[in-house]
């Protein structure tokens, strides 16, 4: 496998990256941005319009990263932009309640039948951290069960992997996490009911919650059968353990009521990410009246945030979600995503390429395997070398994917059929190089 001779200019991005290394660890403020898994220096993006982004060297790309998912309406959506500017003129943060928070909270609760009350925070990680504390506060128990291959932000007790065995105490995946924190987490494989049953049978009396991505989309797109998700729900209920759906990616993306609505499964607590802020820094966690009643100032579980529900983020969220509740929005998104993926799939099928494109709603993944992948240990690391070539080839042709083969892609409302046809053609051209 070899790269096409580099065509796009990267001089300005390269210079900015070299400068950034003087200021930030690895030259970045989030690790995956460093392009370690792909080729060349990271691109410094200066502008986004619709479905396209432009870097500092004036290269333009059809974007399927969409700020890692939140930009379901595309870049620089006019209604969001206008509402943000209008709000900023009045101030950016007051540290007080504001009307916009009420309005966004009301809109979400009115259209999401799986939750009664919501608390806004400033990121998905903060939402998950708060949800864990809430589960522990409600149950009086300390341990957490998570699934291998599901990512829940950089929360200390969840930045763990499985040890050896079917259901094991967590092993830290980062320096700086005390072993005692990791030992509060039990890690089990996805799609193995017997592992969940074993963990609950042995540890239910000390386990506060099971947390999972109902649409695991941070380590490939590991789409589970509804029957497995139902089984998790049933087992949690039977053992008196709360179920948290981490919907930071799937929430408001596969449908307004997320995976809970898509699969019609009622979790006890849900967490959400920046999609509810139109791309601004926002997160939230939500649950029933009873469970949310444990949060301060109503109850003993403390959680606070100076910028929680700040007016700018609430204004952006309102402008975004008002567009998402329009009739058939999600049906149209799913249809055009399916059409886009199907075009590429047929091309690869005709040529016998070992590759597949799992997708749900407007989320897709490029998997270098023809087998259905349900768990992270089924992902062949050799496929990441193929992705590295694919990523390079796509950059030369003006298509941008997140810089890791384990990351998913996102289609936005701003991607027209013509945009998707153009991107599909370029992806097919690039795959011919990959499989040459």
What are the strands, taking DSSP E only, across 137-204?
A: 143-147, 160-161, 168-169, 171-172, 185-188
Q: Where are the alpha helices (DSSP H) in 46-192?
A: 78-88, 99-111, 124-139, 179-182
User: Backbone phi, then psi, for 254, in 5-degree steps?
Assistant: -85, -5
pLDDT of 306 above 80: yes
d(C-alpha 259, C-alpha 248), whole Å? 11
Percent of the chain with pLDDT over 70: 97
Of 370, 351, 336, residue with least CA distance to 64: 336
pLDDT of 337 above 60: yes
Q: Are 309 and 98 in contact (CB under 8 A)?
A: yes
Q: In the CATH scheme, what is the code of domain 78-324?
A: 3.40.640.10
**Sequence spans of domains, the chain:** 11-76+328-434, 78-324
Residues tagged active-site: 151, 246, 274
Question: Any residues with CB less than 8 A from the CB of 411 and at least 6 apart, and which?
Answer: 64, 333, 336, 337, 340, 362, 363, 364, 420
CATH value of 11-76+328-434 in 3.40.50.920, 3.90.1150.10, 3.60.15.10, 3.40.50.300: 3.90.1150.10
Q: What pLDDT, in 10s, does the model give residues 220-267?
A: 999 999 999 999 999 999 999 999 999 999 999 999 999 999 999 999
pLDDT of 434 above 60: yes
DSSP structure string for 363-414:
EE--BS-SS---SGGGS-TTHHHHHHHHHHHHHHHTEE--SSTTS-EE--TT
Residue 166 pLDDT: 55
Residue 269: C-alpha distances to residues 136, 138, 210, 227, 254 (Å): 12, 11, 10, 20, 18
Of 364, 399, 404, residue with least CA distance to 384: 404
pLDDT of 168 above 80: no
Q: What pLDDT, in 10s, does the model give residues 60-118?
A: 999 999 999 999 999 999 999 999 999 999 999 999 999 999 999 999 999 999 999 99
């Amino acid at each position: 496998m070899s790269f096409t001779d580099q065509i796009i200019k990267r001089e300005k991005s390269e210079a900015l990256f070299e400068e950034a290394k003087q200021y930030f660890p690895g030259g970045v403020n989030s690790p995956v941005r460093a392009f370690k898994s792909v080729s060349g220096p990271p691109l410094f993006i200066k502008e986004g319009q619709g479905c396209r982004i432009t870097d500092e060297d004036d290269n333009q790309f059809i974007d399927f990263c969409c700020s890692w998912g939140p930009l379901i309406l595309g870049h620089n959506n006019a209604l969001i932009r206008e509402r943000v500017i209008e709000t900023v003129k009045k101030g950016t943060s007051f540290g007080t309640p504001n009307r916009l928070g009420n309005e966004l909270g009301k809109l979400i609760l009115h259209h999401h039948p799986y939750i009664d009350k919501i608390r806004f925070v400033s990121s998905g990680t903060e939402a998950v951290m708060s949800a864990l504390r809430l589960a522990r506060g409600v149950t009086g128990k300390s341990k957490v069960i998570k699934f291998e291959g599901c990512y829940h932000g950089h929360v200390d007790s969840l930045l763990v992997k499985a040890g050896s065995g079917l259901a094991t105490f967590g092993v830290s995946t980062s320096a700086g996490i005390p072993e005692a924190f990791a030992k509060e987490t039990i890690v089990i494989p996805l799609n193995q009911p017997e592992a969940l049953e074993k963990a609950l049978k042995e540890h239910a009396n000390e386990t506060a919650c099971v947390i999972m991505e109902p649409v695991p989309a941070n380590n490939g797109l590991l789409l589970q059968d509804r029957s497995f998700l139902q089984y998790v729900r049933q087992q949690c209920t039977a053992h008196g353990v709360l179920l948290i759906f981490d919907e930071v990616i799937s929430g408001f993306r596969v449908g307004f009521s997320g995976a809970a609505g898509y699969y019609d499964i009622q979790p006890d607590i849900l967490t959400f990410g920046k999609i509810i802020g139109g791309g601004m820094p926002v997160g939230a966690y939500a649950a029933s009246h009873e469970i949310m009643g444990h949060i301060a100032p109503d109850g003993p579980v403390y959680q606070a945030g100076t910028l929680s529900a700040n007016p700018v983020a609430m204004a952006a969220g309102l402008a975004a979600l008002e567009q998402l509740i329009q009739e058939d929005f999600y049906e149209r998104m799913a249809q055009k995503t399916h059409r886009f993926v199907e075009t590429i799939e047929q091309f690869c099928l005709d040529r016998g390429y070992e590759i597949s494109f799992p997708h749900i709603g407007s989320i897709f993944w490029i998997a270098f395997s023809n087998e259905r992948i349900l768990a992270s240990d089924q992902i062949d690391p050799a496929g990441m070398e193929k992705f590295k070539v694919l990523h390079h080839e796509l950059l030369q042709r003006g298509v941008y994917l997140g810089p890791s083969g384990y990351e998913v892609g996102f289609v936005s409302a701003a991607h027209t059929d013509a945009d998707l046809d153009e991107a599909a053609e370029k992806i097919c051209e690039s795959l011919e190089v990959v499989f040459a």
